[in-house]
Structure 1
Amino acid sequence: MDYRNRVQRNRWNALKLGASTFVMVAASLAPSGPTQAGQAAAATPAPIEEIFVTGTSIRGATAPVGSPLEVVGRLDIDKTGAQTVQQIMKTIPSLSNSGALSQGSLVGSSYYAPTIHSLGSSASTSTLVLIDGHRIPLGNTSHPLPDPSIIPTIAIERVEVLADGASSIYGSDAVAGVINFVTRKSYDGLMASAQRGFGDGYHTENANLLWGTGWETANVMLAYGYSFRSPLDANARDFFNPDKRAQGGTNFNSFNCWPATIQPAGSTQIFPSPTSALSVSSATANAMCNTNDFSSAISAERRHTVMVKMSTEFGEQFSAAIDVNYSNRKNHSTNSRGTISATVFQAGAQANPFYINPPGVTATSQTVRVSMDQLLGPGAFDDNKAENYYMTGNVDYDVNEDWRITLFGMSGRDDNISDTIGSVCASCANLGLNGTTNAGGNLTTISVPGTNIIVTTLPLTAANALDVWNVGSANRTSPDILRRLKDNRNFLRAMQTINQVRLNVGGSLFELPGGDVGIAFGGEWVRYTLDADVVRPNNTGPVSTGAALNNYYTYRNVYSAYGEVLVPVIGPGNAMAWAQSFNLNASVRHDKYRIFGGTTNPKFGVDWEVIQGIKVRGSIATSFVAPALTSFGAPGTGLYAGSAYNQYNGQINVPYASYPTARQIPGCPATGDRCIIGTGAIQGINVLSGNQSLIPQSGKSWTVGIDIAPAEFPGRAAFTLFDNKFRNGITSPNAGIAVNTRALNQLLTIYPAGATPAQIAAAVGLVPQTGNLPAVAYFIYDFRQYNVVNINVRGIDAQSEYIFETNAAGAFTVGGNISYFLKFDQFMGDGGEVFSPLGTSGYNQTFASIRAQGRTHFGWELNQITADLFMNYVSSYRNWSANSVVPITQTPAGNPLAGGDRVKPFVTWDFNLAYNIDAGGILGGLQDTQIFVDANNILDRPPPFYNAANGYGPYGANPLGRVVTVGVRARW
């Protein structure tokens, strides 16, 4: 509570100081005495042009004062050949990961939530995504994310990117900025397009239809979009091969093979097969099996989108509009059947009748590591599908030619299902190998977490045992056991809703010499809900006979009030040398939440047009991000669909200086300064859930920039210096970070004598157990989400374009844009050591901090032909993941300092060629028709090597290679 009060007090002080300064500056700078022409113009105010732009609520404003606004227009969109919204976004360098694969915001996710300037992602996302200035239903089964691909691409008029804090206008999520997808308001006629793309082992299909008509007081528009992309198999690229030693990397192969590899009890040697007389050490470099053959690297996706827009006028003062949007998406990916590692026995009560020792081996037990793909065959898959809709309605009442009252309402829902079917039933495999439901074959280990149930199938016979030693027709596993092994399913359904009501009042207060003082104010209510169902195996055998079901429901109400004022100190009526215009803007918004109270965020902006076509601007703002519903969890419990506790998987290098009792753990060295826990001998428990003590994530930002667009010059340029401080970002800290960060040390608790049942119960609370626990737990790691990520970024965004025309050779265009980080500092928790991951990827698992990303454009147009060449650039960076071959050096506090593998720059070229058919052309009957060819990565450049199992860095490159698309657009 003290923290929240301090934040509110600081923000109110900033607001009062800024408001006072704002009024004094406005009063002192305004020259007096408008000209007669100005007075005459004021006597009959001109109608306000209905333009609504991102970053302001002022009616008639053409741009947000002080802030940079990058616009991607309809023509730019057509030149990308984009099928979906995310493919449009990857052409904008200020949006992180522009070189990455244009699917999903997270690797493996079907939801796309773009991020500005790499300020967090996933649970800590700080970029607000809007459609036509309003929020949209959130989706995804893990972290709630917005997916703007729910709208047909043909309906988009432009995309506006505001890379500046904007919570004073929009409320939560706008710390890094806002991306607004503005759709067409109306259309007259019929438009259709179709295209097909071809790549190596990959293809796409896309079709769009747009129809609209209107009459004197009303119009209606219908847009439909269809898109399909094929899967990309996990063995479709050479660099997918898990063995990276030829590139100087690591062998990511597995010892899980078919038939099983054998590790006799008491030995560190592994035999490649039951009949092999030769063995290798268990070092990962010796692993020999690739399990990629049955999996998809990229899922197939099929999507249908529909948008209907209607608007009408009632007399001279009332107008109304309704938008309805529907999207249906289905992703399908094939999966490996999975792997099993277990202990099996030759003799005794748990003897497996199919047991085979390698030649010369006499051990009575062994560890088998097996891939189940060959035994069970293909058939495992994952279906991820979503149905999303929203409906908006607004009524405008024009009080007069100046003032307007708008009532806006919105209701929407996203129903997302993740259904994983056919992967091997682990408990069935263990029962068939050693007669128990656990890999170790322990007869006293509980089968169903939280109960006293122990399931066994003893004695093992030819009818109920699993044979992993013999292949082909010699394999003796019974048909019934094969059926049970395939009987497995994990099902998760997350239904999220949003309902919103907003009342806005806008107009002019009075006239200054520079123009009318505009004002907008209003209030808003938003309600979010999340209802999740989880079905998973209960570790007793086939899921059809034993499953666990959980339901989680949570909700949130947000009440908001806001206001904004625009003061044109200097304008056309009182312009002077070196001051064609000078505008001041102030906005403020208060958002109230039931759980963590309210937050108030002001923003101030200034524009100064020095001479015609050259404008200097600046802004300063505070913003915030409310914790996601999954991060906070259900009221009173903090539980969500991902809540779970089970055995910790992985190793932690624990410093004795921070954990002195770790020396007392059996197996930890008495000398030295560290102990590695999480090994086979020193096991522990991992707890994952929501956190009811989370507070809003916050940001403080400023920008300074210049826009150059002289009327007599056929070009434009814009440069922005941005600075943003992101505080209390939410994530589940990795244990390796927590043990080396003093502020996070409390997340790991050591129990030298083993945790008692009472201590475990106190640590996990109501979190469900979803897996087996170790016989003795020497530590418990709290993997809940916390406010621990703090980032300071500074950089430059630049855009430029120049057009020059010739008499005979047509018109040429040269342009480009780049986003370049000057600083990317980070620290974890309160008082953590500041370090810089700038120019790296891998330390933060859901976002990178690559220094520079850019896109250059060369265009040519002559008569009916247009050609455009684009160069995409992602700068070199360091691999700071755990897989780096070059060691990553650390500070004394354990934070990364230097080192890591160098990843080369990723440079690709795209090309667009279009022919516009007119009445005089060869195909004159197809008037208003365009035939086009798009080629992405025309040189088919593979991604630079990144030491990971898939061979590339997912936040700086993609595996598609060259994709050529042929299409046609027609208008009637």
Structure 2
Amino acid sequence: MRTSSGLWAGVALISLVHAGTAYAQTAPTQSEEQAAPQGDDEIVVTGTSIRGVAPPASPSVQLDREDILRSGAATSTEIARTLPQVVNIGADESRRGGAQDAAANRTRTSGINLRGLSNEATLLLLNGRRLAPNGTIRALADPAMIPAIALERLEIVPDGASAIYGADAVAGVVNMITRRPFNGAEVQLRYGGADGLDQMQGSALFSRKWGSGGFLAAYDYYFRSNLRAIDRDFTSADLRSIGGTDQRSTQSAPGNILIGNTRYPLPNGDGRGLTAGQLVAGTPNHFDQGLWGDLLPEQERHSVFASAFQEVTDRLTLTYEGFYSRRTFTEDVQPPGSNLTVPRSNPFFVHATNPAAANVTVEYRFIDAQRDATWSGHDIGWQNTLGLRYDLGGAWQLNAYAALNRNRGRAKTDDLLNTLTLPRALADSNPATAFNPFGNGAVANNNPAVLASIAGYRDSFTVNDGRDFVAKIDGPLFGIGGGDVRVAIGAEYHENELEYTIYSTLKNLANDLILDRQRTKSRNNKAVFGELNIPLFSSANATGGFQELTVQLAGRYEEYSDFGDTFNPKIGITWTPIDSLRLRGSWGTSFRAPSLIDSSDAIFNVFIQNLVDNGVTKRGIFMNGGRNDLSPETAKTWSVGADFKPGFLSGFSASVTYYNIKYSNLIDALAAATILSSDGLYSDYVIRNPTVAQVEALLNSPNLENVREPAANMLLIVDGRRDNIGELHQDGIDIQLDQRIDTGIGAFNVGFYLTQILNAERSSAPGVPFRNALNLINFPVDTRIRGNLGWSDGRWSTNLFWNHVGDYTNNLITPNQQVRAYNTFDASIGYKFPDQGALNGLRITLSAQNLFDRDPPDVINGTQAWDGQNASPIGRFVALDLRKSF
């Protein structure tokens, strides 16, 4: 099914009449929370464990339900990515390579990456609770597991928060706050499309509330078709039109005979009866890998969320919360290619210059054996949480919960070659059973049984189990001039188990399913934590220059079963000298424990591939996977900021935050292009001109993923396995300006949100000089902007959003390429029907993302002409959303 982009464009232009509403950039105040409809009286404020206090001194960003509806986003992940602090580097469904070990994202998870520090440095919470990690060879958190219809808001604290939440909150916290029980129901139908892409979504929510309790249940179905590479005009690997070189592969069908550095293209035929006289050195045959396969996989997801509470007595309340999500994906990929060593015994053997040669090298693409090469799999996650809340008296309260969660990931790759049977088929002297690599890739050129025997696959499974037990008490200690000094004290016990299994046909002559590798790993950690809120000044004792002054202290001690202990403190101060100005500052330390996948050396792969080194393409070996000797990451973060809401300018608000991060012992698995192009930053991970012994050790590894090639062909070894790769220093500024103007014809809103990274420097090891890690490909871009303009009269609402990603340098090539800034516009127009009649509660929204269908900027990026980390391949995407409340 295809969408007419011209028709969608005409319809979407209606939304340019007016535009956008603003983000609410701070967490709600106590009074705002209590004014909102609540299913019970529990108040969730991200960044603190103490009830009844104002938001903490750390910067915070909120997207409420109206922001979610107006964004035009379909999933929780897409909603979060509308914020400039969320950088699309690392794991994403749209790529199989890039920075921060994106290639390891085999289940096509889409995570959140605050500040560009990594997906795993961002802690994802559901109502303040942890989730089990997703993925097979990555430990990621996917917000899309939770139905978007169940979300009340997203609260984001882009600041270190390990003192509150423990590990992983280095870059910050994303907390998904769900809707509270109420009396009603809601259904949603949504269809969206772009050229070559379709999206469908159906959701339902039902909730009931009674005097002593209530429940809420939500279901979401989501389907998105695949996006084929050939449906976009910027995907060819021939980059000459944008100033690059022809990066199409010479491993093709028909292929090329390679003698030294000279190629002899094979003729377009069945490869039988060739003679040396038919082979002439010249322009090689090519395979355009950029036009083959999918840019986006097909995705289908079913998700369920439920919550309930019941007051058992006047003091005791029991709670339940749980979800289940199953996502499947299928992705067409390019068939594998290889430099084949064909022995003279092969009945189709031909040599261009030496008929008596013992063997010949043929560059070949296995279109015949892998015509339908795919990656596929699933990600299944669930969590069940039982909790209790007990009023101890005197405004003290006990909260405790037990959470059990599991995530099961599967990734099957059908684009592999059987490294045992292929060499045997090439050496076979029987024309009926030998493999013929001299033809044009037609299936008829080879025996179907032979083709089946050389096609291999790998099926990997990961099970992540988590058990979390938490208890805390909080309440007032004593009163001082500004109010009650309040405290929270608690303890937590957490267990995590990993089981990793690979089934593979790569070493089985009969292609039977065999157990290749299986590993299990586990850890537990214990924690105690505490917080103190000290209101020195408030409205109760305000005086000149001190309308409010609050000190917030927090600390958390954790002990791990496998790498030791850690203590992380945090201090925050908020000061309101006048009613319209709030100043804030915070300092703290954070850490990230290496995930069980990171620290498992069983998950280790060896690839033979072309590598670009100083602009020269070389045949080499690339390794990725885990290491068992990793250390925890640590960070020191601090921020200062101000919130300004003047009384003399109605509807205006401004917020500015300066942040500073010193991030040590970073765990990362670097892409080969990043290692080879980073001006010596990662020279320790490269061996140029390796010895035969070094190459043979890897070629003999059971983890070799390719058909073996002569050791003499390997000109370098690149080690991309996860490691503690040094230290990162980053600082920057977040600015937000909002203006609301009420008029007789409705309310107008103007907003501007800027994230500006001032500096980012990286050192690969202690004592190694820091080098720039900003405004370079595979690193964050310094400037990101989200602007908005909107109007609403209570029934109609129209919105326009401006998205800006600044320019940066592509240093993968010499001379370096300057990549232009990327500007796109999103728009929406909505109508809410009156509160009476059959259409009561119906809301219709038409939205368009990338309204003017801007292609990504030209980037000479290996074999690609664009950079998927800073631009989307989708183009104009238009969606119609229908919602009905009952």
Q: Return the TM-score normalized by structure 1.
A: 0.80
The correspondence for 2:852, drawn from 939, 943, 962, is 939
Shift of 1:870: 0.4
The correspondence for 1:870, drawn from 797, 801, 806, is 801
Please name the residue that 1:583 is paired with. Answer: 550
Deviation digits for residues 210-244 of structure 1 (CA, Å, limit 9, x no counterpart): 11001100101111111111100021101011111
Q: After superposition, where does 1:300-699 map in structure 2 within 5 Å?
A: 300-345=298-343, 350-356=344-350, 364=357, 365-373=359-367, 375-376=368-369, 378-421=371-414, 423-433=416-426, 435=427, 458=428, 460-471=429-440, 475-486=444-455, 488-539=456-507, 541=509, 543-544=511-512, 547=514, 549-633=516-600, 639-640=601-602, 642-644=603-605, 650=611, 690-699=626-635
Please name the residue that 2:169 is paired with. Answer: 174
Shift of 1:749: 7.8
Whole-Å separation in 2 of the counterparts to 1:93 and 1:274? 51
Please name the residue that 1:295 is paired with. Answer: 293
Q: Which amino acid aligns with 1:591?
A: E
Q: Which amino acid aligns with 1:366?
A: V
Whole-Å separation in 2 of the counterparts to 1:968 and 1:686? 49
Structure 2 residue matching 1:399: 3-state secondary structure = strand
Deviation digits for residues 569-593 of structure 1 (CA, Å, limit 9, x no counterpart): 0011110122211100110000111
Deviation digits for residues 380-424 of structure 1 (CA, Å, limit 9, x no counterpart): 221120111001111011011510011111000000000123655
Q: Say whether residues 1:810 and 2:746 are aligned partners.
A: yes
Please name the residue that 2:4 is paired with. Answer: none
Contact 1:879–1:902 under 8 Å retained in 2 = yes
Shift of 1:83: 1.3
Please name the residue that 1:69 is paired with. Answer: 60
Q: Which amino acid aligns with 2:776?
A: T
Please name the residue that 1:53 is paired with. Answer: 45
Q: After superposition, where does 1:760-779 map in structure 2 within 5 Å?
A: 772=708
Q: Say whether residues 1:720 and 2:654 are aligned partners.
A: no
Q: Structure 1 679/80 Cα, relative in aligned 2: closer, same or farther at 3 Å?
A: closer
Structure 1 residue matching 2:797: 3-state secondary structure = strand
Whole-Å separation in 2 of the counterparts to 1:213 and 1:72? 25
Please name the residue that 2:12 is paired with. Answer: none
Whole-Å separation in 1 of the counterparts to 2:577 and 2:856? 45
Please name the residue that 2:263 is paired with. Answer: 269
Whole-Å separation in 2 of the counterparts to 1:512 and 1:475? 88
Whole-Å separation in 2 of the counterparts to 1:879 and 1:810? 46
Q: Structure 1 386/646 Cα, relative in aligned 2: closer, same or farther at 3 Å?
A: closer
The correspondence for 1:222, drawn from 204, 217, 222, is 217
Please name the residue that 2:774 is paired with. Answer: 838
Deviation digits for residues 249-287 of structure 1 (CA, Å, limit 9, x no counterpart): 232211122222233x456133253679685668xxx66
Q: Which amino acid aligns with 1:569?
A: L
Shift of 1:540: 5.1
Structure 2 residue matching 1:841: 3-state secondary structure = coil
Structure 2 residue matching 1:246: 3-state secondary structure = helix
The correspondence for 2:727, drawn from 767, 771, 790, is 790
Q: Say whether residues 1:968 and 2:882 are aligned partners.
A: yes
Q: Which amino acid aligns with 1:112?
A: S
Q: Structure 1 467/738 Cα, relative in aligned 2: closer, same or farther at 3 Å?
A: closer
Q: Structure 1 566/392 Cα, relative in aligned 2: closer, same or farther at 3 Å?
A: same
Question: For the pair shown, which has the larger CA radius of gyration, 1 or 2?
Answer: 1
Structure 2 residue matching 1:718: 3-state secondary structure = strand
Structure 1 residue matching 2:502: 3-state secondary structure = strand
Structure 2 residue matching 1:238: 3-state secondary structure = coil
Whole-Å separation in 1 of the counterparts to 2:445 and 2:687? 47
Q: Say whether residues 1:241 and 2:236 are aligned partners.
A: yes
Shift of 1:775: 5.5
Please name the residue that 1:83 is paired with. Answer: 74
Contact 1:98–1:853 under 8 Å retained in 2 = no
Q: Which amino acid aligns with 1:790?
A: E
Q: Say whether residues 1:957 and 2:874 are aligned partners.
A: no
How many matched pairs?
827
Whole-Å separation in 2 of the counterparts to 1:257 and 1:760? 29
Whole-Å separation in 2 of the counterparts to 1:474 and 1:580? 80
Shift of 1:379: 2.4
Deviation digits for residues 747-787 of structure 1 (CA, Å, limit 9, x no counterpart): 67899975499x969x99x9866665866899987654322
Q: Structure 1 507/967 Cα, relative in aligned 2: closer, same or farther at 3 Å?
A: same
Q: Which amino acid aligns with 1:188?
A: N
Shift of 1:504: 0.4
Gaps of 5+ in 1: 1-47, 436-457, 634-638, 654-675, 843-847, 888-899
Shift of 1:68: 0.7
Please name the residue that 1:904 is paired with. Answer: 820
Structure 1 residue matching 2:844: 3-state secondary structure = strand
Contact 1:168–1:602 under 8 Å retained in 2 = yes
The correspondence for 1:92, drawn from 66, 83, 98, is 83
Gaps of 5+ in 2: 1-39, 270-276
Whole-Å separation in 2 of the counterparts to 1:241 and 1:138? 35
Shift of 1:340: 3.2
The alignment's C-alpha RMSD in Å is 3.3
Please name the residue that 1:450 is paired with. Answer: none
Q: Which amino acid aligns with 1:554?
A: K
Shift of 1:175: 1.3
Please name the residue that 1:855 is paired with. Answer: 786
Whole-Å separation in 1 of the counterparts to 2:610 and 2:860? 22
Structure 1 residue matching 2:48: 3-state secondary structure = coil
Q: Which amino acid aligns with 1:832?
A: V
Whole-Å separation in 1 of the counterparts to 2:384 and 2:251? 51
Q: Structure 1 600/752 Cα, relative in aligned 2: closer, same or farther at 3 Å?
A: closer
Contact 1:242–1:950 under 8 Å retained in 2 = yes
Whole-Å separation in 1 of the counterparts to 2:857 and 2:877? 18
Q: Structure 1 737/300 Cα, relative in aligned 2: closer, same or farther at 3 Å?
A: closer
Whole-Å separation in 2 of the counterparts to 1:75 and 1:156? 11
Whole-Å separation in 1 of the counterparts to 2:702 and 2:827? 53
Please name the residue that 2:142 is paired with. Answer: 147
- Of structures 1 and 2, the one with the larger relative CO (CA 8 A, separation 6+) is 2
Please name the residue that 2:829 is paired with. Answer: 913
Q: Structure 1 744/716 Cα, relative in aligned 2: closer, same or farther at 3 Å?
A: closer
Whole-Å separation in 2 of the counterparts to 1:760 and 1:170? 44
Whole-Å separation in 2 of the counterparts to 1:652 and 1:274? 33
Contact 1:128–1:174 under 8 Å retained in 2 = yes
Contact 2:469–2:494 under 8 Å retained in 1 = yes
More displaced stretch, 108-117 vs 96-105: 96-105
Deviation digits for residues 429-485 of structure 1 (CA, Å, limit 9, x no counterpart): 43333x1xxxxxxxxxxxxxxxxxxxxxx4x11211123334588954223213324
Q: Structure 1 539/872 Cα, relative in aligned 2: closer, same or farther at 3 Å?
A: same
Q: Which amino acid aligns with 1:117?
A: R
Structure 1 residue matching 2:598: 3-state secondary structure = helix
